[in-house]
Amino acid sequence: MSIHIGAEPGDIAERVLMPGDPLRAKWIAETYLDDAKCYTQVRGMYGFTGRWQGVDVSVQGSGMGMPSASIYAHELINDYGVKTLIRVGSCGALADELQLRDVIAASGASTDSNMNRARFDGLIDYAPVADFGLLRTAVETAEQRGIPMRVGPILAADAFYTDRPDLYDALANYGVLAVEMESAALYTIAARFRARALTLLTVSDHIKRGEQTTSQEREQTFGQMVEIALDTAIA
Ligand SMILES: Nc1nc2c(nc(Br)n2[C@@H]2O[C@H](CO)[C@@H](O)[C@H]2O)c(=O)[nH]1
């Protein structure tokens, strides 16, 4: 058992999907995994292990924000030997051409989090990037499934409510596609401990246009993305 995950050694598969919402972890386990078993309920941040196409896969909630996601990524890798972490989440779109329900693969994650600045004394802006092999497999899988998927950089922000939307507009001018709150930490920790990480996102809101998806739309699109993530995790 680690400090924040109540699992025994061997309870967690080498490949883990990480939604932010623990109830989404439960939904993924119940909807997609055979013989899914819950291995932790510590702090309500559920984790499950089951099988996808006969291969062991786990699903672990990460919580919202980089401090929370960092704790679970660190312990999954260092206490349970996890080798592949695929975040499956939602995001707010910045790019004009993005539509609600589009699927994005995050090739890199800019951030305003001090967690990464602190790692290098604020002297170097480390570039958190996705594992290329996972990214390539996800793109191939999406093509095979006929699901359009955008690949590009995102912003992992510390705050959900910001009084500086002008900064988001500026980032969009540099090709940043969307905003979420976890990937910069996930990519950095995976790189630090030699694991592989990728983030797949569905657009649930468009920040600049003020559009929102319905919860039903979110669930349907989320399912397509989860299937890409599962196929990528076991490839
Ligand atoms: N900062 C930010 N995070 C967002 C947004 N839309 C979504 Br869905 N998120 C993600 O959803 C949660 C906040 O609702 C966090 O875990 C984020 O990763 C958004 O417009 N902004």
Sites in the chain below the pLDDT cut of 50: none
**How remote is the CA of residue 106 from the centroid of ligand 1, in Å?**
14
The percent helix, strand, coil of the chain (3-state, each to 5) is 35, 30, 35
Atom number, ligand 1, closest to the C-alpha of residue 157: 1
215-234 vs 22-32: helix axis angle to the nearest 10?
70
pLDDT, position 187? 98
**How remote is the CA of residue 178 from the centroid of ligand 1, in Å?**
9
Pocket of ligand 1 (CB under 6 A): 20, 64, 89-92, 157, 160, 179-182, 204-205, 207
Pairing of strands 55-60, 47-52: antiparallel
pLDDT, position 93? 96
User: Tell me: the pLDDT tens digits for 16-67?
Assistant: 999 999 999 999 999 999 999 999 999 999 999 999 999 999 999 999 999 9
Catalytic residues: 205
Distance (Å, whole) CA 75 – CA 4:
8
Task: Take residue 128 and report the two structure tokens written for it.
Answer: 């958190």
Q: Whose CA is nearest to atom 14 of ligand 1?
A: 160
Distance (Å, whole) CA 179 – CA 182:
10
User: Is the pTM here over 0.80, yes or no?
Assistant: yes
pLDDT, position 127? 97
Task: Take residue 62 and report the two structure tokens written for it.
Answer: 């990460």
Distance (Å, whole) CA 214 – CA 193:
38
pLDDT, position 1? 86
Measured on CA atoms in the order 60, 84, 133, 108, is the torsion positive or negative? Answer: positive
